[in-house]
């Protein structure tokens, strides 16, 4: 079992990042997704698209299906409370790691948990000798775009994907090189 545990240097509490391995873990991620997406994305993409995307990509069945297809999910805990999650998709052919999901409950923001999830992602990619990590961010999610840019990511291209039901994901693909 892969568990990443470290003392947060910004505060005096312990943080645990644990892989999703059980049905209960999957339910925890689905619950977190519902809460976090409704907190963060409704002002950006609207309630109807949030509801649609949660059902299509972030309910328990969708998460289970993704895990059967190379997605690696992790939950981050703060003082034993699940407060965020991460999904990584390794591409061993191109030596790149996709950060498919990286979300933290707004009740736990400003604790540097997002940074710890990103550091964990970078460490995972480096341990596998990958040359970069990449992700997509909604073009109207300015705060997240700036956060990733401050972490060294750059915008590589515009991506527009029809996800069905009249909805489109209008994103930037952002990438961070891991080559020294």
- Of the chain, the percentage scoring pLDDT greater than 70 comes to 92
- Of the chain, the percentage scoring pLDDT greater than 90 comes to 89
165-169 average pLDDT score: 93
Strand extents, DSSP E, 66-177: 72-78, 81-91, 96-104, 132-138, 154-164, 167-177
Count of H-run helices and E-run strands, the chain: 6, 8
Q: Are strands 4-7 and 14-19 parallel, antiparallel or unpaired?
A: antiparallel
Strand order in the sheet with 154-164: 4-7, 14-19, 72-78, 81-91, 96-104, 132-138, 167-177, 154-164
pLDDT at residue 2 in the model: 54
CA distance linking residue 102 with residue 86, whole number of Å: 4
Asked if 102 and 114 count as a contact pair (C-beta separation under 8 A), the reply is yes
Task: Give SS3 for 176.
Answer: strand
Q: Tell me the sheet residues that pair with 134.
A: 98, 175
pLDDT at residue 4 in the model: 52
Asked if 124 and 98 count as a contact pair (C-beta separation under 8 A), the reply is no
Confidence of residue 13 (pLDDT cuts 50, 70, 90): low
pLDDT at residue 9 in the model: 36
Rounded to 10 degrees, the C-alpha dihedral 109/112/117/121 comes to: 140
CA distance linking residue 18 with residue 64, whole number of Å: 16
18-28 pLDDT per residue, tens: 999 999 999 99
83-133 pLDDT per residue, tens: 999 999 999 999 999 999 999 999 998 899 999 999 999 999 999 999 999
pLDDT at residue 12 in the model: 37
Does the predicted TM-score (pTM) go above 0.95? no
- At the second CATH level, the architecture of 4-134 is 3-Layer(aba) Sandwich (3.40)
Is residue 5's pLDDT more than 90? no
pLDDT at residue 165 in the model: 93
What are the domain boundaries of the chain? 4-134
42-65 average pLDDT score: 95
Is residue 7's pLDDT more than 80? no
Is residue 144's pLDDT more than 90? yes
* Terminal CA-CA length for the chain: 30
Poorest-pLDDT segment among 31-35, 73-77, 94-98, 107-111: 107-111
């Amino acid at each position: 079992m892969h568990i990443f545990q470290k003392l947060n240097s910004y505060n005096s509490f312990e943080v645990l990042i644990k892989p999703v391995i059980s049905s209960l873990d999957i339910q925890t991620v689905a619950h977190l997704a519902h809460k976090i997406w409704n907190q963060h994305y409704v002002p950006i993409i609207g309630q109807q698209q949030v509801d649609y995307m949660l059902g299509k990509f972030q309910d328990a069945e969708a998460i289970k299906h993704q895990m059967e297809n190379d997605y690696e999910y992790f939950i981050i805990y703060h003082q034993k409370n699940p407060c965020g999650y991460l999904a990584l998709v390794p591409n061993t052919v191109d030596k790149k790691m996709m950060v498919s999901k990286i979300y933290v409950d707004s009740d736990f923001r400003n604790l540097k948990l997002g940074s710890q999830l990103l550091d964990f992602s970078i460490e995972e990619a480096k341990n596998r000798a990958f040359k970069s990590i990449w992700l997509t961010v909604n073009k109207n999610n300015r705060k997240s775009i700036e956060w990733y840019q401050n972490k060294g990511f750059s915008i590589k291209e515009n991506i527009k994907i029809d996800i069905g039901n009249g909805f489109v994901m209008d994103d930037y693909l952002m990438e961070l090189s891991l080559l020294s």
